[in-house]
Each structure stands twice: as structure tokens, then as C-alpha cells.
Amino acid sequence: MAEITLIEAIRQAMDEELARDPDVFIVGEDVGVRGGVFRATQGLYDKYGSERVIDSPLAELSIAGVGIGAALYGMKPICEIQFADFIAPAFNQIINEAAKMCYRSNGEWTVPMVFRAPYGGGISGGLYHSQSVEAFFTTPGLKIVIPSNPYDAKGLLKSAVRDPNPVLFFEPKKGYRLIKGEVPEGEYTVPIGPAAVTRPGSDLSIFAYGMMHYYALQAAEELAGEGIQAEVVDLRTLYPVDRATILESVRRTGKALIVHEDNLTGGYGAEIAATIAEHAFTDLDAPVRRLAGPDVPGVPFSHPFQDWFMVNPQKIASAARDLARY
């Protein structure tokens, strides 16, 4: 199997789906000739033409609206939002139209579309190019997928394109070229829904997704050298979330550390904490702990303040160490 980067895996998935299904097309800002701001669609415009890789106006509302309309009539759009920070203008279309269409039509209309958006900090992008917005969209009717490695990124994106429901596919931009992994040459998909235990352990469970899962594995490796065996669970899908795997892990270890880079208050980790409290409280040997970004309006631009805001392997290891010794 070839080792490729996260961004290459995403590009491969789109390339293969465009080749497989003539109803698939891509629309977004600069996705055509330029190949996207992160080059996720590089080469696809030349290969498939301007009618299937479409440069949109600088208007996220219109990207979402065009995608929803096309999906309602049988197309399978992949709508790229250049940065997750700019998805807000399309919020109404996504939440009130795409997410509710199947329900409000009693199943007569489906919306088979994907919204791709790079999210997260760590690249000195400042307030408007570093946000984690996944918690805003955890609502019935939408599926939310966040991969942490190239294998999953390719397989999950292919599943998202083929899903009859709208899928928000958030990609950790810091990991685009940093995270590498082996990806098979042949056809495969990864199902949307199941979480993955990526490192077994007995002393505590670490729940994470995206870039934070990548860091959690590094932290677990450091802890293993100290005799602390951390089990790492990659959530992969936030909605619907795999509660069974979460609870099975907590019941094995008795302790839970939930990690994400969004703000602590209102962040997605609260949902995981509530699930554990409701269904596995008597299995806990310590309070559930969350490690997240501080409650400030955004990730600062300067490197020292960005480092203060961002969760990293050292912070995860420190929090896990304290919890394991509780």
C-alpha cells in the first residue's frame, strides 16, 4: 500500500467518485483552475472539465443553495466551503433546508450531498481561518464526519458521496500534509457511524477526532513509556455518534478524557460526557474530564498565544497522567 498524505487521500476519493458516477460534481470557491486554496481539487478541473468542477462566486449561501437544488433533482454535489469559518452564511440552508428536507417530505425527497470544509487551528490563520464549528451542526438530518488519517479520509468521503443524506465532512487542515498513512490501491469505503479503537489500553480512555486524535496517539505513546496504558478511541463520526463503542471503552478502563480543540463551553465533548454520565456513571473510577480550547472568541494569530490556545500532545499527556493517577 502506498503512503500518502491526508490531502492526497481526499483528492483521490473525489477523483474516483467523479469517475464512478456522472452525477457527482464539485462546486466551490477556487476549486477549478486553482485546485482549491489547499489544492484538494488540484488536477480535477483539467480531467473532468468546467461543468463538473465548478468555480463558484464568493458566496457560501449560494454554494449551499445550488448544491441542495441539484441534489433534490438527483445530482450528487460535493460543496467545498473554503474554510469552515465561512460556513455561517450557509447555516440556514444547511440546517433548515438540507437537514430537514427528507423529514418534511415524508421521505419523498432526499438530499445526497457533501459539504467539505477544512477546520481547526495551528496554522497561524487567526480568528477567521482557525475555527472548529462542528458543535453547531449536530442536529437530526445531518451526518457529521471528521477523519483523522488518510485511510479513513478516503473511505469515509467515498461513503459520504454515496449517502442519500447530507453529510458535513470536516477536515483538519493542520493535518493535510502532516498526517500520512497507508491507503490501498483498490476500491474500498469506510462506513459512516462506527468509531474505532485505535490503541487498546486499560488505565483510561481518550476520546478524540480529527487532529486531536492524531495528537492523542502521540500522547498515549509517551504515557506508555511511563507505564500508563491509555486506550484511544477515534470517534470519526460525531452525528450519529457511536455510543456503544464509547461506553464499552469506559467500562473497560473506568476513566474518560475527552479531547477537542473547540472551546470548552458548548463544545462537542459535552455530548460525550453526558452520554457517559447517563449510561456508565457507576463504571467510573474518576470524574469525566474534558480537555479543550479556552473560552475565548477564536484562535489567536501570534505563535505564543496560538500555542496557549491549542491542545497538543503534551497537554493531552499531562491531563491523561493526572486522570490515570486520580
Contact 264, 293 (CB under 8 A): yes
Residues 210-229 have pLDDT tens digits of: 999 999 999 999 999 999 99
- Grid coordinates in use for 271? 455530548
Task: Return the ∠ at Cα 290 (arms to 240 and 122), rounded to 5°.
Answer: 85
- Average pLDDT (196-222) is 98
Query: What SS3 state is found at 60?
Result: helix
Residue 109 has phi, psi (to 5 degrees) of -120, 130
Q: Which amino acid, residue 62?
A: S
Residues 257-268 have pLDDT tens digits of: 999 999 999 999
Q: Which amino acid, residue 189?
A: T
CA–CA dist 115, 77 (Å, integer): 8
Q: How confident is the model at residue 149 (pLDDT cuts 50, 70, 90)?
A: very high
Rounded CA Rg of the chain: 19
DSSP string for 158-201: HHHHH-SS-EEEEEEGGGTTT-EEEE-SS-----SS--EEEE--
- Grid coordinates in use for 314? 503534551
Q: Which amino acid, residue 271?
A: E
Closest CA to 161 of 60, 7, 47, 24: 24
- Grid coordinates in use for 112? 445526497
Percent of the chain with pLDDT over 90: 98
Burial class (CB in 10 A: 0-12, 13-18, 19+), 135: middle
Catalytic residues: 129
Residue 21 has phi, psi (to 5 degrees) of -135, 115
Percent of the chain with pLDDT over 70: 100
Burial class (CB in 10 A: 0-12, 13-18, 19+), 248: middle
Confidence (pLDDT) at 1: 85
Name the one residue in this structure whose C-alpha cell is 442536529: 139
Query: What SS3 state is found at 261?
Result: strand
- Average pLDDT (11-18) is 98
Residues 249-299 have pLDDT tens digits of: 999 999 999 999 999 999 999 999 999 999 999 999 999 999 999 999 989
**Residue 108: partners with Cβ closer than 8 Å, 6 or more residues away:** none
The neighbour count for residue 326, using CB atoms within 10 Å, is 11
Burial class (CB in 10 A: 0-12, 13-18, 19+), 57: exposed
Q: How confident is the model at residue 67 (pLDDT cuts 50, 70, 90)?
A: very high
Averaged pLDDT of the chain: 97
Q: Dihedral (C-alpha) 82, 84, 87, 91: value to the nearest 10 degrees?
A: 150
pTM: predicted TM-score of the whole model, two decimal places: 0.97
Closest CA to 272 of 289, 295, 251: 289
Q: What domains can be seen in the chain, in order of their start residue?
A: 2-183 (3.40.50.970), 196-324 (3.40.50.920)
Q: Dihedral (C-alpha) 301, 303, 307, 309: value to the nearest 10 degrees?
A: -20
**Cα separation values, 279 from 263, 264, 276, 288, Å:** 25, 22, 5, 13
Q: How confident is the model at residue 84 (pLDDT cuts 50, 70, 90)?
A: very high
